[in-house]
Amino acid sequence: VDEINLLNIPSPHMTISNVVRLRDEIITYSKENIYDGFVITHGTDTLEETAFLIDLLIDIQEPIVITGAMRSSNEIGSDGLYNFISAIRVASSSEANHKGVMVVFNDEIHTARNVTKTHTSNINTFQSPNQGPLGVLTKNRVQFYHHPYRQTTYQYIDVNLRVPLVKAYMGMEDDVLSFYSQQHVDGIVIEALGQGNLPKSCLNGLQQCLKKNIPLVLVSR
């Protein structure tokens, strides 16, 4: 086990550039063919974003496991050390190869593509809604329930692109979209209602964005 102190920043301060740097570091060490897997310790605020993005940007056979703590080391019942040991167990398991990036917390293994943080303080916060965990850890073994479907990965992304995320809500007006139509953004992702619906009061803002040839992507919340 070797330790590499690449970044030491609060997780709310993480950027896409930081994640790309982390990806590049993993690829460099992967090429040396001396490591069975990789463990990343990460603050939980943006852990799922980092896991998801690395999974989009890397395709190696070695397991990449991300973990952290919901209770810090100065709190009663701190879970950090236990999660860290669990992550090492998963990363060193031969059965974890070719499963992409995984998040390990509270004896559960989740895929980066499905996991989300569901509670601000509960140690069982990381869950995979509609999917369930990829596997679990017992006292004696690492047990996987299934093999995740590996999707397309990308070698390059432009970290300088400006793509704001806009959340739709009942009674939403067009002011936010109108504002972004005046900015130099490269696209807008709108977390829409239902299957991609928006209040009619947003129409003017949408039209302003389209007139500026700003790509609009609607996703369901």
Structure tokens at 90: 């998963």
Q: Please name the helix (run of DSSP H) or strand (run of DSSP E) that holds residue 208, with its range, or none.
A: helix 203-211
Annotated binding-site residue numbers for substrate: 11, 44-45
What residues are annotated to the active site? 44
Structure tokens at 73: 């080391």
Residue type at 46?
A: T
Angle of helix 16-30 relative to helix 47-57, nearest 10 degrees, comes to: 50
Annotated binding-site residue numbers: 11, 44-45
Q: How far is CA 74 from CA 31, 130, 169, in A?
A: 38, 34, 39
Task: Judge contact between 112 and 149, C-beta under 8 A.
Answer: no
Structure tokens at 215: 């790509």
On the 0-12 / 13-18 / 19+ scale of CB atoms within 10 A, 40 is: buried
Instruction: Using alpha carbons, select from 36, 20, 157, 150 the residue that is nearest to residue 97.
Output: 36
